[in-house]
Amino acid sequence: MPAGTGVSVVVPATTANLGPGFDTLGMALTIYDEVTVVTRETPGVSVEVRGVGAGEVATDETNLVAASLIYALETWGVEVPGLDLVATNHIPHGRGVGSSGAAIVAGVVAAKGLVEGIIDVSDDELLRIATEREGHPDNIAPSLFGGLTIAWMTPDGPRSKKLSVHRGVSLLVAIPGESQMSTKLARSLQPETVPHEDAIFNLSRAALLIAALLDSPELLMEATEDRLHQNYRASAMPETSALIGALREKGFAAVVSGAGPSILVLCSDPTQRVDAEALIAEQGSGEWQCHALTVDQRGATVEALPGFAH
Protein backbone atom coordinates (compact mmCIF):
# COMPACT_ATOMS: atom_id res chain seq x y z
CA MET A 1 0.00 0.00 0.00
CA PRO A 2 1.71 3.24 -1.09
CA ALA A 3 2.16 6.17 1.26
CA GLY A 4 -0.30 8.98 0.57
CA THR A 5 -3.35 6.76 0.06
CA GLY A 6 -6.31 8.58 1.57
CA VAL A 7 -9.96 7.76 2.19
CA SER A 8 -12.92 9.48 3.82
CA VAL A 9 -15.61 7.53 5.68
CA VAL A 10 -19.06 8.63 6.87
CA VAL A 11 -20.90 6.31 9.25
CA PRO A 12 -24.36 6.66 10.86
CA ALA A 13 -25.48 6.30 14.45
CA THR A 14 -27.84 3.44 15.22
CA THR A 15 -30.56 2.45 17.63
CA ALA A 16 -30.83 -1.23 18.55
CA ASN A 17 -33.40 -3.59 20.07
CA LEU A 18 -36.39 -1.28 19.30
CA GLY A 19 -38.12 -2.76 22.32
CA PRO A 20 -38.68 -6.50 21.81
CA GLY A 21 -36.00 -7.18 19.17
CA PHE A 22 -33.16 -7.70 21.65
CA ASP A 23 -29.77 -8.24 19.96
CA THR A 24 -31.58 -8.66 16.64
CA LEU A 25 -33.23 -5.47 15.35
CA GLY A 26 -31.44 -2.22 14.60
CA MET A 27 -31.99 0.97 12.68
CA ALA A 28 -29.59 3.53 11.19
CA LEU A 29 -30.09 7.15 12.26
CA THR A 30 -29.27 10.44 10.55
CA ILE A 31 -26.46 11.42 12.94
CA TYR A 32 -22.97 10.81 11.60
CA ASP A 33 -19.31 10.44 12.46
CA GLU A 34 -16.73 11.26 9.79
CA VAL A 35 -13.21 9.86 9.57
CA THR A 36 -10.35 10.57 7.16
CA VAL A 37 -7.37 8.24 6.92
CA VAL A 38 -4.10 8.87 5.12
CA THR A 39 -1.22 6.40 4.94
CA ARG A 40 2.37 7.57 5.51
CA GLU A 41 5.88 6.15 5.18
CA THR A 42 6.84 6.39 8.85
CA PRO A 43 5.30 3.70 11.09
CA GLY A 44 2.84 4.40 13.88
CA VAL A 45 -0.65 5.78 14.26
CA SER A 46 -1.87 9.27 15.10
CA VAL A 47 -5.51 10.17 15.67
CA GLU A 48 -6.93 13.67 15.90
CA VAL A 49 -10.38 13.71 17.49
CA ARG A 50 -12.76 16.59 16.91
CA GLY A 51 -16.20 17.05 18.43
CA VAL A 52 -17.56 14.32 20.69
CA GLY A 53 -14.79 12.55 22.61
CA ALA A 54 -12.10 15.16 21.96
CA GLY A 55 -9.66 15.10 24.86
CA GLU A 56 -11.27 11.90 26.20
CA VAL A 57 -10.68 9.01 23.80
CA ALA A 58 -7.34 7.53 22.79
CA THR A 59 -5.35 9.20 20.02
CA ASP A 60 -3.01 6.33 19.18
CA GLU A 61 -3.39 2.79 17.83
CA THR A 62 -5.70 1.90 20.74
CA ASN A 63 -8.35 4.31 19.47
CA LEU A 64 -11.36 2.17 18.54
CA VAL A 65 -11.46 3.38 14.93
CA ALA A 66 -7.73 2.86 14.45
CA ALA A 67 -7.69 -0.50 16.24
CA SER A 68 -10.57 -1.76 14.08
CA LEU A 69 -8.84 -0.56 10.91
CA ILE A 70 -5.61 -2.32 11.91
CA TYR A 71 -7.52 -5.48 12.86
CA ALA A 72 -9.16 -5.61 9.43
CA LEU A 73 -5.89 -5.08 7.55
CA GLU A 74 -4.11 -7.75 9.60
CA THR A 75 -6.99 -10.17 9.10
CA TRP A 76 -6.68 -9.69 5.35
CA GLY A 77 -2.91 -10.20 5.47
CA VAL A 78 -2.05 -6.60 4.60
CA GLU A 79 1.04 -4.99 6.10
CA VAL A 80 -0.14 -2.10 8.26
CA PRO A 81 1.34 1.22 7.10
CA GLY A 82 1.77 4.37 9.13
CA LEU A 83 -1.62 6.01 9.58
CA ASP A 84 -2.90 9.52 10.21
CA LEU A 85 -6.58 9.68 11.19
CA VAL A 86 -8.88 12.62 11.78
CA ALA A 87 -12.18 11.70 13.46
CA THR A 88 -14.96 14.29 13.51
CA ASN A 89 -17.56 12.87 15.86
CA HIS A 90 -21.21 13.84 16.25
CA ILE A 91 -22.56 10.59 17.73
CA PRO A 92 -22.82 10.88 21.55
CA HIS A 93 -20.76 8.36 23.51
CA GLY A 94 -22.28 5.99 26.06
CA ARG A 95 -25.85 7.01 25.29
CA GLY A 96 -27.22 3.96 23.46
CA VAL A 97 -27.00 5.29 19.91
CA GLY A 98 -24.26 3.02 18.61
CA SER A 99 -21.10 5.09 19.04
CA SER A 100 -18.83 2.08 19.54
CA GLY A 101 -20.41 0.19 16.65
CA ALA A 102 -20.01 3.24 14.43
CA ALA A 103 -16.34 3.57 15.39
CA ILE A 104 -15.71 -0.09 14.57
CA VAL A 105 -17.58 0.20 11.27
CA ALA A 106 -15.65 3.37 10.40
CA GLY A 107 -12.35 1.55 10.90
CA VAL A 108 -13.35 -1.55 8.97
CA VAL A 109 -14.86 0.41 6.08
CA ALA A 110 -11.79 2.66 5.95
CA ALA A 111 -9.65 -0.48 5.69
CA LYS A 112 -11.79 -1.63 2.76
CA GLY A 113 -11.28 1.73 1.09
CA LEU A 114 -7.51 1.58 1.55
CA VAL A 115 -7.24 -1.85 -0.10
CA GLU A 116 -9.59 -0.97 -2.96
CA GLY A 117 -8.11 -2.48 -6.13
CA ILE A 118 -5.85 -4.77 -4.08
CA ILE A 119 -8.34 -6.99 -2.24
CA ASP A 120 -12.02 -7.54 -3.02
CA VAL A 121 -13.90 -7.23 0.29
CA SER A 122 -17.55 -8.36 0.32
CA ASP A 123 -20.36 -7.00 2.47
CA ASP A 124 -20.47 -10.33 4.32
CA GLU A 125 -16.80 -9.97 5.15
CA LEU A 126 -17.28 -6.44 6.46
CA LEU A 127 -20.13 -7.65 8.68
CA ARG A 128 -18.04 -10.58 9.93
CA ILE A 129 -14.95 -8.51 10.78
CA ALA A 130 -16.91 -5.72 12.45
CA THR A 131 -19.04 -8.17 14.46
CA GLU A 132 -15.91 -9.92 15.71
CA ARG A 133 -14.81 -6.57 17.13
CA GLU A 134 -18.21 -5.60 18.59
CA GLY A 135 -19.41 -9.01 19.78
CA HIS A 136 -22.94 -8.80 18.36
CA PRO A 137 -24.30 -7.56 15.01
CA ASP A 138 -27.44 -5.60 15.97
CA ASN A 139 -25.69 -2.19 15.81
CA ILE A 140 -23.10 -3.21 13.23
CA ALA A 141 -25.55 -4.22 10.48
CA PRO A 142 -27.54 -0.95 10.29
CA SER A 143 -24.37 1.13 10.65
CA LEU A 144 -22.83 -0.72 7.71
CA PHE A 145 -25.85 -1.02 5.45
CA GLY A 146 -28.42 1.54 6.61
CA GLY A 147 -32.16 1.10 6.98
CA LEU A 148 -33.94 -1.22 9.39
CA THR A 149 -31.98 -4.44 9.77
CA ILE A 150 -32.59 -7.90 11.15
CA ALA A 151 -29.31 -9.49 12.22
CA TRP A 152 -28.67 -13.05 13.32
CA MET A 153 -25.78 -15.43 13.96
CA THR A 154 -25.09 -18.66 12.08
CA PRO A 155 -22.31 -21.27 12.39
CA ASP A 156 -20.68 -19.47 9.45
CA GLY A 157 -20.89 -16.04 11.04
CA PRO A 158 -23.32 -13.11 11.21
CA ARG A 159 -25.99 -12.40 8.62
CA SER A 160 -28.36 -9.48 8.13
CA LYS A 161 -31.37 -8.39 6.11
CA LYS A 162 -32.08 -4.75 5.30
CA LEU A 163 -35.68 -3.53 5.19
CA SER A 164 -37.36 -0.21 4.34
CA VAL A 165 -39.42 1.49 7.04
CA HIS A 166 -42.94 2.72 6.23
CA ARG A 167 -42.86 6.40 5.27
CA GLY A 168 -45.48 7.15 7.93
CA VAL A 169 -43.05 6.28 10.76
CA SER A 170 -41.31 9.26 12.38
CA LEU A 171 -38.40 8.95 14.80
CA LEU A 172 -37.64 10.92 17.94
CA VAL A 173 -34.48 10.21 19.91
CA ALA A 174 -34.15 11.83 23.35
CA ILE A 175 -30.57 11.89 24.64
CA PRO A 176 -29.78 12.85 28.26
CA GLY A 177 -27.17 15.55 28.69
CA GLU A 178 -24.94 13.87 31.27
CA SER A 179 -26.02 10.32 32.05
CA GLN A 180 -24.20 7.46 30.34
CA MET A 181 -24.68 3.70 30.33
CA SER A 182 -22.07 1.01 29.80
CA THR A 183 -23.30 -1.75 27.50
CA LYS A 184 -21.35 -4.23 29.64
CA LEU A 185 -23.12 -3.01 32.78
CA ALA A 186 -26.52 -3.11 31.08
CA ARG A 187 -25.97 -6.71 30.01
CA SER A 188 -24.84 -7.73 33.48
CA LEU A 189 -28.25 -6.75 34.88
CA GLN A 190 -30.12 -9.32 32.83
CA PRO A 191 -30.81 -12.88 34.00
CA GLU A 192 -29.36 -15.79 32.04
CA THR A 193 -32.80 -17.37 31.72
CA VAL A 194 -36.31 -15.92 31.40
CA PRO A 195 -39.77 -17.43 31.91
CA HIS A 196 -41.15 -19.35 28.95
CA GLU A 197 -44.16 -17.03 28.71
CA ASP A 198 -41.87 -13.99 28.49
CA ALA A 199 -39.94 -15.56 25.63
CA ILE A 200 -43.18 -16.23 23.74
CA PHE A 201 -44.36 -12.69 24.51
CA ASN A 202 -41.26 -11.17 22.95
CA LEU A 203 -41.37 -13.46 19.93
CA SER A 204 -44.89 -12.27 19.17
CA ARG A 205 -44.01 -8.60 19.68
CA ALA A 206 -40.82 -8.75 17.61
CA ALA A 207 -42.75 -10.31 14.71
CA LEU A 208 -45.48 -7.71 15.11
CA LEU A 209 -42.90 -4.91 15.19
CA ILE A 210 -41.65 -5.82 11.71
CA ALA A 211 -45.22 -5.62 10.43
CA ALA A 212 -45.77 -2.30 12.21
CA LEU A 213 -42.57 -0.71 10.88
CA LEU A 214 -43.03 -1.92 7.31
CA ASP A 215 -46.77 -1.72 6.83
CA SER A 216 -48.89 -0.84 9.87
CA PRO A 217 -47.56 2.02 12.04
CA GLU A 218 -50.83 2.07 14.00
CA LEU A 219 -49.62 -1.12 15.73
CA LEU A 220 -46.40 0.41 17.10
CA MET A 221 -47.58 0.68 20.71
CA GLU A 222 -48.34 -3.02 21.12
CA ALA A 223 -45.44 -3.99 18.90
CA THR A 224 -42.85 -2.27 21.12
CA GLU A 225 -43.78 -4.08 24.33
CA ASP A 226 -40.87 -5.99 25.87
CA ARG A 227 -40.19 -8.40 28.73
CA LEU A 228 -36.63 -9.51 27.96
CA HIS A 229 -34.34 -6.63 28.87
CA GLN A 230 -35.81 -3.20 29.66
CA ASN A 231 -37.37 -4.02 33.03
CA TYR A 232 -34.18 -5.70 34.24
CA ARG A 233 -32.12 -2.62 33.33
CA ALA A 234 -34.56 -0.06 34.72
CA SER A 235 -32.85 0.26 38.11
CA ALA A 236 -29.64 1.47 36.43
CA MET A 237 -31.42 4.31 34.61
CA PRO A 238 -34.46 5.31 36.69
CA GLU A 239 -35.06 8.61 34.90
CA THR A 240 -35.12 6.89 31.52
CA SER A 241 -37.50 4.24 32.84
CA ALA A 242 -39.82 6.81 34.39
CA LEU A 243 -39.91 8.91 31.24
CA ILE A 244 -40.63 5.89 29.04
CA GLY A 245 -43.47 4.99 31.40
CA ALA A 246 -44.91 8.49 31.13
CA LEU A 247 -44.66 8.44 27.34
CA ARG A 248 -46.26 5.02 26.98
CA GLU A 249 -49.05 6.00 29.36
CA LYS A 250 -49.93 8.78 26.90
CA GLY A 251 -49.87 6.42 23.92
CA PHE A 252 -46.34 6.98 22.59
CA ALA A 253 -44.34 3.92 21.47
CA ALA A 254 -41.26 4.72 23.57
CA VAL A 255 -38.43 2.26 24.22
CA VAL A 256 -34.85 2.29 25.48
CA SER A 257 -32.44 3.03 22.63
CA GLY A 258 -29.82 0.30 22.63
CA ALA A 259 -28.35 -0.15 26.11
CA GLY A 260 -29.66 3.30 27.08
CA PRO A 261 -30.03 5.73 28.64
CA SER A 262 -31.39 7.44 25.50
CA ILE A 263 -35.01 6.97 24.50
CA LEU A 264 -36.38 6.11 21.07
CA VAL A 265 -39.97 7.10 20.28
CA LEU A 266 -41.47 5.49 17.19
CA CYS A 267 -44.24 7.81 16.04
CA SER A 268 -46.98 7.09 13.53
CA ASP A 269 -46.93 10.66 12.20
CA PRO A 270 -44.89 13.90 12.58
CA THR A 271 -47.56 15.54 14.79
CA GLN A 272 -47.22 12.75 17.31
CA ARG A 273 -43.47 13.33 17.35
CA VAL A 274 -44.00 17.00 18.26
CA ASP A 275 -46.34 15.98 21.08
CA ALA A 276 -43.83 13.43 22.40
CA GLU A 277 -41.09 16.06 22.46
CA ALA A 278 -43.36 18.41 24.41
CA LEU A 279 -44.07 15.71 27.00
CA ILE A 280 -40.36 14.98 27.41
CA ALA A 281 -39.69 18.69 27.97
CA GLU A 282 -42.48 18.82 30.54
CA GLN A 283 -41.75 15.66 32.52
CA GLY A 284 -38.07 14.94 31.97
CA SER A 285 -35.83 16.12 34.80
CA GLY A 286 -32.40 17.32 33.73
CA GLU A 287 -31.40 18.17 30.18
CA TRP A 288 -32.80 15.98 27.44
CA GLN A 289 -31.85 16.78 23.85
CA CYS A 290 -34.56 15.70 21.45
CA HIS A 291 -33.58 14.89 17.86
CA ALA A 292 -36.25 14.53 15.17
CA LEU A 293 -34.52 12.06 12.87
CA THR A 294 -35.14 9.91 9.84
CA VAL A 295 -33.86 6.45 8.97
CA ASP A 296 -30.51 6.61 7.20
CA GLN A 297 -30.76 4.45 4.08
CA ARG A 298 -27.15 4.47 2.86
CA GLY A 299 -25.20 3.15 5.80
CA ALA A 300 -21.45 3.65 5.89
CA THR A 301 -19.82 5.18 2.81
CA VAL A 302 -16.16 5.45 1.79
CA GLU A 303 -14.53 7.62 -0.86
CA ALA A 304 -10.96 8.18 -1.98
CA LEU A 305 -9.70 11.56 -0.85
CA PRO A 306 -9.11 13.87 -3.82
CA GLY A 307 -5.45 14.65 -4.35
CA PHE A 308 -4.20 11.45 -2.74
CA ALA A 309 -2.84 8.35 -4.41
CA HIS A 310 -5.05 5.29 -4.60
Mean pLDDT over 131-141 rounds to 96
Q: What is the pLDDT of residues 146-182, one digit of tens each?
A: 999 999 999 999 999 999 999 999 999 999 987 665 5
State the pLDDT at residue 185. Answer: 62
In sequence order, the 6+-apart residues with CB closer than 8 A to the CB of 215 are 166
**Contact, 248 vs 197, CB < 8 A?**
no
pTM of the model: 0.94
Q: What is the pLDDT of residues 237-256, one digit of tens each?
A: 899 999 999 999 999 999 99
Q: CATH 3.40.50.2000: does it fit domain 6-163+296-304?
A: no
CA distance 61 to 55: 15
- Exposed, middle or buried: residue 142 (CB in 10 Å: 0-12, 13-18, 19+)? buried
Mean pLDDT over 94-117 rounds to 96
Residue 210 identity (one-letter amino acid): I
Does 186 have pLDDT greater than 60? no
Phi and psi at 277, nearest 5°, equal -65, -40
Mean pLDDT over 7-36 rounds to 97
Domain coordinates of the chain in residue numbers?
6-163+296-304, 170-293
Mean pLDDT over 194-211 rounds to 95
Does 108 have pLDDT greater than 90? yes
State the pLDDT at residue 229. Answer: 81
Is it true that the peptide bond before 261 is cis, omega within 30 degrees of 0? yes
Regarding the domain delimited by 170-293, which CATH topology (the fold level of the hierarchy) does it fall under? Answer: Alpha-Beta Plaits (3.30.70)
Residue 44 identity (one-letter amino acid): G
Does 59 have pLDDT greater than 60? yes
* pLDDT band for position 236 (cuts 50, 70, 90): confident
CA distance 68 to 261: 25
